[in-house]
Amino acid sequence: MVGKNLMFNGRSSAIGLFDEPINAHKSIPTTRVIHDFYSLDPSLGFYGGGGIDARHPSRGLPLGSALRSGRFSSQSWGSDYKKRLQEEFTHTVAFNGHSTSLPLASNTVTLDPNLRDVWGRPALRCTYKDHPDDLATALFFRERSLELLDAAGAKQTTTVPVSEAEGGVHLLGTCRMGNDSSNSVVDRFNRSHDVPNLFMCDGSSLVTGGRGQPTMTIMALAFRAADYMIGAARRGEI
């Protein structure tokens, strides 16, 4: 089971340009503002769910905004380009969907049988393909984001294409938690079934993508595992 069920979380984004300054680059975003679609109706024909939040399209970075500009104009240089950048940076907001990434045994991290680094160690090989339901869910969330921007009065909107994931910042799965060592890697306290003194307290133990940011869940599991380690050490079990 080690290396199987890799997940990244689904994602989508729609961006709106407003007449008034939005200043979405200020302060910090409050994630998962909308949970109305945390569990989607099965009648839609696909499985999924998640949340939507609002933030700056470039995460508040002026250079990032410049490099990604041109969403609302074909102009890409000169004084008009600078004026457009200034307007886009202060007058745009993105509604982002954070959604399901189904655990699939075929999505894996393994050791490459041929490629090695300069020290002779096998390179990592990542094999990943989104489940069709994950892509359908991302499209659903993108449409809801466009509806939100329209209701808020955006004068122009654009979207980020929903496509097959080629990576992600939420690395989840590959050492899933469970009671049965035949279909899991760690127990409920993040302790390896096969190596008693090995604990894995990161996103690898998650059995689902969680439909959003996983950090707080990982932290809670890590604190819980730490309490267990302390007790086990006092009992001489470590």
Q: What is residue 20's predicted lDDT score, i.e. its pLDDT?
A: 93
Percent of the chain with pLDDT over 70: 90
60-77 core/surface letters (b: 16 or more CB in 10 A; e: else) = beeeebeeebebbbeeee
Return the active site residues. 170
Identify the bridge partners of residue 185 per DSSP, sorted by sequence position: none
Distance CA 109, CA 129 (A): 12
**Token pair for residue 55?**
């933030």
Q: What is residue 42's predicted lDDT score, i.e. its pLDDT?
A: 93
Q: What is residue 73's predicted lDDT score, i.e. its pLDDT?
A: 64
Output the average pLDDT for the chain: 89
Lowest-confidence range among 7-11, 145-149, 219-223?
7-11
Local structure of 83: helix, strand or coil? helix
